[in-house]
């Protein structure tokens, strides 16, 4: 697997169960003629042919890299060559190799006065380049991270684990998702909340007692959603804070308004999912609100 991003990429990939991992930097060193943008890094002499480098079988995009031009070029090389970036370009392989992408935020807030480009912006570049070069759509094996519901399901799983370690016997009924980005934090929490509601409806409805062999894809989805309901959680309420990507001057508004869709290409734009259950000033206010809602204050 070719991994891109920052930090301990190989360690993170191994922790997730991937056994054979190659970084962008290792790929660049193995094929120095591929990275041609930075003139200072071009080889002064023609390097010997690369031998023994493994064929890439998939790509994991953990987060935005430091050198975008290098990562964009090498990832495109891997996709266009079907995992053999040192080979000459022949027939375009399509569907291309599997791609897993984490973190779809177009923007994120740091110390600067305006939001910074996030990994979603890098994905946008990669998608646009691939389509411009090939005329085909870049496809993802999976999109993981906010606003994907699987991320919120995993968060629920971790919360339940923590509750068990603390000896908390009462079932967890409500989750509160706190974030500063309407398109990722709020959208994902509301999307997961809709899944929970669907799970409850599916549990009440009859007709799910068919044998697995006769189950349609729709029934299988309902059964999967019902697993959420069986885990006691009934709702996931979104709390938007005003100290990050979302900023508001003056009184706290009752609704958020998105005039431009900042979400990933593969998520439909549903304005209702951008409306937070609550909007407060900061994380401390969000925690206090959850305490109040749970009669803990």
Average pLDDT on 257-285 reads 88
CA distance 129 to 252: 40
At 17-54, the pLDDT tens digits run: 999 999 999 999 999 999 999 988 888 888 888 888 99
Three-class secondary structure of residue 83 per DSSP: coil
Task: Mention every residue, 6+ apart, whose C-beta is less than 8 A from residue 107.
Answer: 115, 116, 117, 118, 120, 121, 181, 245, 262
The band of 84, judged by pLDDT with boundaries at 50, 70 and 90, is very high
CA distance 296 to 228: 25
The band of 90, judged by pLDDT with boundaries at 50, 70 and 90, is confident
Give the pLDDT of residue 249.
55
Question: For 115-188, where are the E strands, in sequence order?
Answer: 116-117, 142-144, 174-179
Of all residues in the chain, the percent with pLDDT exceeding 90 is 68
> What is the average pLDDT value for the chain, to the nearest integer?
88
Q: How far apart are the first and last CA of the chain?
A: 49
Q: Is the pLDDT of residue 87 over 90?
A: no
Residues 217-253 as b/e (b if ≥16 CB within 10 A, e otherwise) read eebeebeebbebbeeebbebbbbbbbebbbeeeeeee
| Structural domains for the chain | 2-44+51-143 (3.40.50.1000), 149-204+231-294 (no CATH)
Q: Which helix (H) or strand (E) holds 238?
A: strand 235-241
At 135-168, the pLDDT tens digits run: 999 999 999 999 999 999 999 999 999 999 999 8
Q: Averaging pLDDT over each range in 13-17, 202-206, 246-250, which range is the top one?
A: 13-17
Average pLDDT on 234-260 reads 74
Q: Is the pLDDT of residue 206 over 70?
A: no
Q: Is the pLDDT of residue 220 over 90?
A: no
């Amino acid at each position: 697997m070719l991994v891109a991003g920052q930090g301990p990429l190989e360690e993170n990939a191994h922790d997730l169960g991937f056994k054979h991992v190659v970084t962008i930097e290792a790929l660049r060193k193995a094929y120095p003629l591929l990275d041609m943008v930075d003139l200072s890094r071009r080889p002064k002499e023609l390097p010997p042919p690369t031998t023994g480098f493994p064929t890439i079988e998939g790509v994991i995009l953990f987060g935005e890299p430091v050198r975008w031009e290098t990562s964009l070029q090498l990832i495109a090389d891997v996709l266009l060559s079907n995992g053999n970036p040192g080979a000459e370009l022949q027939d375009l392989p399509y569907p291309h190799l599997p791609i897993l992408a984490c973190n779809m935020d177009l923007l994120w807030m740091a110390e600067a006065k305006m939001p910074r480009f996030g990994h979603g912006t890098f994905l946008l570049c990669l998608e646009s380049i691939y389509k411009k070069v090939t005329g085909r759509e870049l496809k993802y094996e999976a999109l993981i991270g906010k606003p994907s519901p699987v991320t919120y399901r995993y968060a629920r799983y971790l919360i339940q684990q923590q509750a068990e370690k603390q000896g908390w016997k009462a079932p967890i009924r409500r989750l509160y998702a706190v974030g500063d980005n309407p398109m990722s934090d709020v959208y994902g929490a509301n999307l997961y909340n809709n899944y929970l509601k669907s799970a409850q409806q599916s549990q009440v409805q009859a007709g799910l007692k068919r044998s697995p062999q006769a189950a349609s894809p729709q029934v299988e989805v309902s059964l999967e959603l019902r697993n959420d309901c069986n885990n006691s959680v009934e709702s996931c309420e979104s709390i938007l804070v005003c100290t990050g990507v979302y900023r508001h001057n003056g009184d706290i508004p009752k609704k958020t308004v998105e005039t431009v869709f900042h979400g990933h290409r593969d998520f439909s734009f549903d304005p209702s999912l951008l409306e937070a259950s609550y909007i407060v000033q900061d994380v401390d206010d969000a925690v206090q609100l959850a305490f109040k809602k749970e009669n803990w204050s």
